[in-house]
C-alpha cells in the first residue's frame, strides 16, 4: 500500500510539473508574439517618420528650394534606413537620383569644401552643375514619383504599451 500511495503522489507531482511547464511554454509563446508585434509597430513607426522627412525633402526638391545634389544625398541616405518591405533600391528604381548621388557623394562639403583650393572647388562646382542640369527633369520626375510612393505610407502610428 505504501508503494501505491508513493506512486500516486509521484504521478500527481509529475502531472503538476508537466502542467506548469506547459503553462510556461504558452506564456513564452504569447510573449514572443507580443514582442514581434511591438517590433513590427516600431519599424512601421520609424518608417513613417522617415517617409515624412522624405516627403518634405521631395517637396523642397520639386519646388527648387534646395540643390538637387543636396536632395539626392539626403534622400538616398535617409531611405537607406527604411526597414521591411518598404525598402527602395534607388539604383534600379530612381536611376537619375542615384547617378547624381554617386557623382557628388564624395565631393567635399561644408568646412572641408571651404578649405579647398579655389580652382579645385570650381572644378567640382562645374562637374556638379553639369550633372544637375543634365539630370534636372528626370530627378524632378523621380522626386514626384517618390513623393507619391511614400505619401500613403506616411501614416503616424501611436504605439501604446499593452
Percentage of residues of the chain with pLDDT beyond 70: 93
Rg (CA), the chain: 28
pLDDT value at position 123?
Answer: 87
Rounded CA gap, 121 and 110, in Å?
A: 12
Give the list of residues 6+ apart from residue 48 with CB closer than 8 angstroms, or none.
153, 154, 155, 156, 157
Enumerate helices (H) and strands (E) in the chain, giving the number of each: 6, 0
In whole angstroms, give the CA distance from residue 5 to residue 2: 5
Question: Cell 537620383 belongs to which residue?
Answer: 97
pTM of the complete model beyond 0.75: no
Least confident of 43-47, 94-98, 156-160: 156-160
Q: For residues 38 and 19, give the distance between their C-alpha atoms in angstroms, rounded to a whole number.
A: 29
Using an 8 Å Cβ cutoff, are 90 and 79 in contact? yes
Contacts of 44 (CB under 8 A, 6+ apart): 84, 157
Q: Which of 107, 103, 110, 113 is nearest to 134 (CA)?
A: 103
pLDDT at 66 over 60: yes
Amino acid at each position: 500500500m505504501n508503494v501505491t500511495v508513493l506512486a500516486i503522489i509521484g504521478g500527481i507531482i509529475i502531472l503538476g510539473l508537466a502542467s506548469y511547464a506547459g503553462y510556461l511554454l504558452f506564456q513564452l509563446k504569447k510573449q514572443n508574439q507580443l514582442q514581434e508585434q511591438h517590433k513590427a509597430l516600431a519599424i512601421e513607426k520609424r518608417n513613417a517618420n522617415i517617409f515624412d522627412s522624405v516627403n518634405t525633402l521631395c517637396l523642397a526638391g520639386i519646388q527648387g528650394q534646395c540643390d538637387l545634389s543636396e536632395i539626392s544625398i539626403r534622400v538616398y541616405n535617409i531611405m537607406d534606413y527604411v526597414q521591411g518591405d518598404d525598402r527602395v533600391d534607388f539604383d534600379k528604381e530612381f536611376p537619375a537620383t542615384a547617378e547624381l548621388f554617386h557623382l557628388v557623394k564624395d565631393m567635399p562639403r561644408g568646412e572641408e569644401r571651404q578649405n579647398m583650393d579655389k580652382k579645385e572647388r570650381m572644378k567640382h562646382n562645374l562637374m556638379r552643375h553639369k550633372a544637375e542640369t543634365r539630370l534636372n527633369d528626370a530627378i524632378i520626375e523621380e522626386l514626384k514619383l517618390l513623393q507619391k510612393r511614400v505619401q500613403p505610407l506616411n501614416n503616424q502610428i501611436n504605439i501604446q504599451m499593452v
